[in-house]
Structure 1
Amino acid sequence: MTKTNPGRFFEDYRLGEVIRHAVPRTLAEGERALYHALYPQRFALHSSDAFAIDCGLDGAPLDDLLVFHTVFGKTVPDISLNAVANLGYAEGRFLKPVWPGDTLRSESEVIGLKQNSNGRSGVVWVRTTGFDQNGEAVLRYVRWVMVRKRDQDAPAPETAIPELSDHVAADALAIPEDLTFDTYDFDLAGERHRASDYAIGERIDHVDGTTIEEAEHMLATRLWQNTAKVHFDATHREDGKRLIYGGHVISLARALSFNGLANAQMIVAINSGAHANPCFAGDTVRAWSEVLDRAEVAPGIAALRLRLVATRGAAFDLRGEDGKYGADVLLDLDYWALMPA
């Protein structure tokens, strides 16, 4: 009797089943230091206890995407170990800050299944929740992933595609109870732009670029305990390349967005996201943003809805005349961030 786990294949999922993922993980300042070493991250609220205390918090919470990667990584052995690709995200809400010393675990519900027409793979939709050591939800999101079949002759499940909102409503955003920007220090934050300085439809070229190295990607993927074979095993793809973890691209693009959006301090929702094209070591990633909406969500605090695009190409190039993503577009992410109103 084998004791190893080959991972789930498409035919192993059942609509409505709930999967409790191993292994809980306690986060500490070491994870923050590694996160800031991997990405050019400079947002003040996550960098400085003193800055965060001046904003009403007990200290600097851990980076929102650090929390996302940790919760996501727990799900990989059960959801995407045999994935062809992670396809997208929706309805993501950061429900409360996570602090050094908190322990996170993950749980997913299968909410959709659809076999692909080639019969060799299918798409699985899951709603994942990250919990802290007190059983309180800190993050909840939907993602869908293309997973290989073990047996091409296995019968296809009844198709069930979930209806998902195209964005999280501003009045549904979870705002940290004690957060205030009344004494916000714009000089220390790095820019003087308030939410009211951004116009809906405005586009920002974040100017800088970073070339992805194989070693950085491998360290990052191991840090989040992401065991998907496409990220580690060069023989798992026909081209002999290891696919860069999509979350690595998200964090890199978010860090690059500091130049122009330095006061977008906290991500509170991921409305939608698509990994438009695969990314590999050696690619140079640049980023640009578009302002989609703005809402005041608490006294002196605004939420800016932003489209963040990571690309190997020119700023503001997104889709071709056929409506499809351009070949250089790596990421199209729609999210809400908090900043001084």
Structure 2
Amino acid sequence: MAKTNPGRFFEDYKLGDVIDHAVPRTVAEGERALYHALYPARHALYSSDEFAGACGLEGSPIDDLIAFHVVFGKTVPDISLNAVANLGYAEGRWLKPVYPGDTLRSQSEVIGLKQNSNGKSGVVWVRTRGFNQMDEPVMEYVRWVMVRKGDLDAPAPETVIPELKGVLEVGDLSIPEGLSFEEYDFTLAGEPHRWGDYEVGEKIDHVDGVTVEEAEHMLATRLWQNTAKVHFDATFRPDGQRLIYGGHVISMARALSFNGLANAQMIVGLNGGAHANPCFSGDTIRAWSEVLDKADTDAPGVGAVRLRLVAVKHGAPEFALKGEDGKYLPEVMLDLDYWVLMPK
């Protein structure tokens, strides 16, 4: 009897399946240090206990995307070990800050299935939730992933495509208890620009770029315990290249966005996202953002801003996303639509 795990194939998923993922992970200060070493992350709320305390929190939380990567990484052996590609995200919500010492675990429910016309793969939709050691949900999101079939003769399941919100309303967002930006220190945060300074439709070139190297992206993916073969095994793809984990691109682009959005402190919602084109070692990631919407919140001094974050490779961004054919331009790697909290 085989004791190793070959991963699930498309025919192994059933609608309504609930999967509890191994292995729980306790996050510590070392997680933050490694994250800030891998990415030029500088947002003050995630760098300073004193700054976070002045904003009404018990201390500096772990970066929102660390929580996302840890929760996501737990799901890989059960959801995307045999993936062709991770296709998109929706209805992502950060429900509670994660602090050093918290232990995270993940659970996913299969909410949609559709076999592809070639009969060799299919798309699986899952809603994943991350919980802390007190079984409190800290985040949730939907993602859909294309997965290979192991048995090409396995019958196609009934097609079920879930209805998902295109955009979260501000009322869907969870504002951390006690959060207040009334005593916000713009000097320490690094920029003077507040909620009222941004206009819907405004586009921001984040100027800086970072060239991705093999060692760092594999270190990052191991850090999140993401075991997807395409990120490590150079023989797994016909072109002999390791595909860089899409979350690595997300974190790099978010960190680069500090230049122009230093006060976009907390990520609280993920409306949608697409990994438009692959990223490989040697690619230089640059980023630009577009302000899509703004909303008030009930928290003192706190406003919400809906942003589009776009990561491109190599040259300076030209604020272009898609060609006349409606397809993403080849230099676009990431198109992410998300909500952040910002001082008013």
Do Structure 1 and Structure 2 share a fold, with TM-score over 0.5?
A: yes
Q: In 1, Cα distance between the equivalents of 2:302 and 2:131? A: 26
Tell me the residue number matched to 1:238: 238
Tell me the residue number matched to 2:323: 320
1:305 maps to a residue whose letter is: R
Q: In 1, Cα distance between the equivalents of 2:194 and 2:247? A: 28
8 Å contact 1:287–1:315 — kept in the other structure?
Answer: no
Kindly report which structure 2 residues correspond to 1:5-16, keeping only aligned pairs within 5 A, or say none.
Answer: 5-16=5-16
Kindly report which structure 2 residues correspond to 1:97-176, keeping only aligned pairs within 5 A, or say none.
Answer: 97-176=97-176
How far residue 104 of structure 1 moved from its aligned partner, in angstroms, is: 0.3
2:63 maps to a residue whose letter is: D
Q: In 2, Cα distance between the equivalents of 1:46 and 1:175? A: 16
How far residue 10 of structure 1 moved from its aligned partner, in angstroms, is: 0.3
Tell me the residue number matched to 2:342: 339
Q: In 2, Cα distance between the equivalents of 1:143 and 1:94? A: 15
Q: Deviations 1:127-148 (Å, cap 9, x if unpaired)?
A: 0000000000000000000000
Kindly report which structure 2 residues correspond to 1:7-46, keeping only aligned pairs within 5 A, or say none.
Answer: 7-46=7-46
How far residue 315 of structure 1 moved from its aligned partner, in angstroms, is: 3.1
Tell me the residue number matched to 1:95: 95
Tell me the residue number matched to 1:221: 221
The alignment yields a C-alpha RMSD, in angstroms, of 0.6
Tell me the residue number matched to 1:310: 311
The number of equivalent residue pairs is 341
Q: Deviations 1:194-231 (Å, cap 9, x if unpaired)?
A: 11100000000000000000000000000000000000
How far residue 152 of structure 1 moved from its aligned partner, in angstroms, is: 1.1
In the superposition, the TM-score normalised over structure 2's length comes to 0.98
Comparing 149-158 and 100-109, the one that deviates more: 149-158
Comparing 215-224 and 305-314, the one that deviates more: 305-314
Q: In 2, Cα distance between the equivalents of 1:200 and 1:117? A: 40
Q: In 1, Cα distance between the equivalents of 2:154 and 2:331? A: 36
Q: Deviations 1:245-286 (Å, cap 9, x if unpaired)?
A: 000000000000000000000000111000000110000000
- The DSSP-based 3-state class of the residue aligned with 1:281 is coil
How far residue 167 of structure 1 moved from its aligned partner, in angstroms, is: 1.1
How far residue 172 of structure 1 moved from its aligned partner, in angstroms, is: 1.3
Query: Would you say 1:254 and 2:254 are equivalent positions?
Result: yes
Q: Which runs of 4+ in 1 moved over 3 A?
A: none
Q: Deviations 1:26-46 (Å, cap 9, x if unpaired)?
A: 000000000000000000000
Q: In 2, Cα distance between the equivalents of 1:279 and 1:57? A: 36
Q: Deviations 1:33-67 (Å, cap 9, x if unpaired)?
A: 00000000000000000100111111100000000
1:329 maps to a residue whose letter is: V
8 Å contact 1:44–1:189 — kept in the other structure?
Answer: yes
Q: In 2, Cα distance between the equivalents of 1:172 and 1:126? A: 19
1:65 maps to a residue whose letter is: L
Consecutive unaligned residues in structure 2, runs of 5 or more:
none
In the superposition, the TM-score normalised over structure 1's length comes to 0.99
1:306 maps to a residue whose letter is: L
Q: Indicate the percent of aligned positions where both proteins have the same amino acid.
A: 76
8 Å contact 1:293–1:304 — kept in the other structure?
Answer: yes
Kindly report which structure 2 residues correspond to 1:46-85, keeping only aligned pairs within 5 A, or say none.
Answer: 46-85=46-85
Q: In 1, Cα distance between the equivalents of 2:324 and 2:5? A: 45
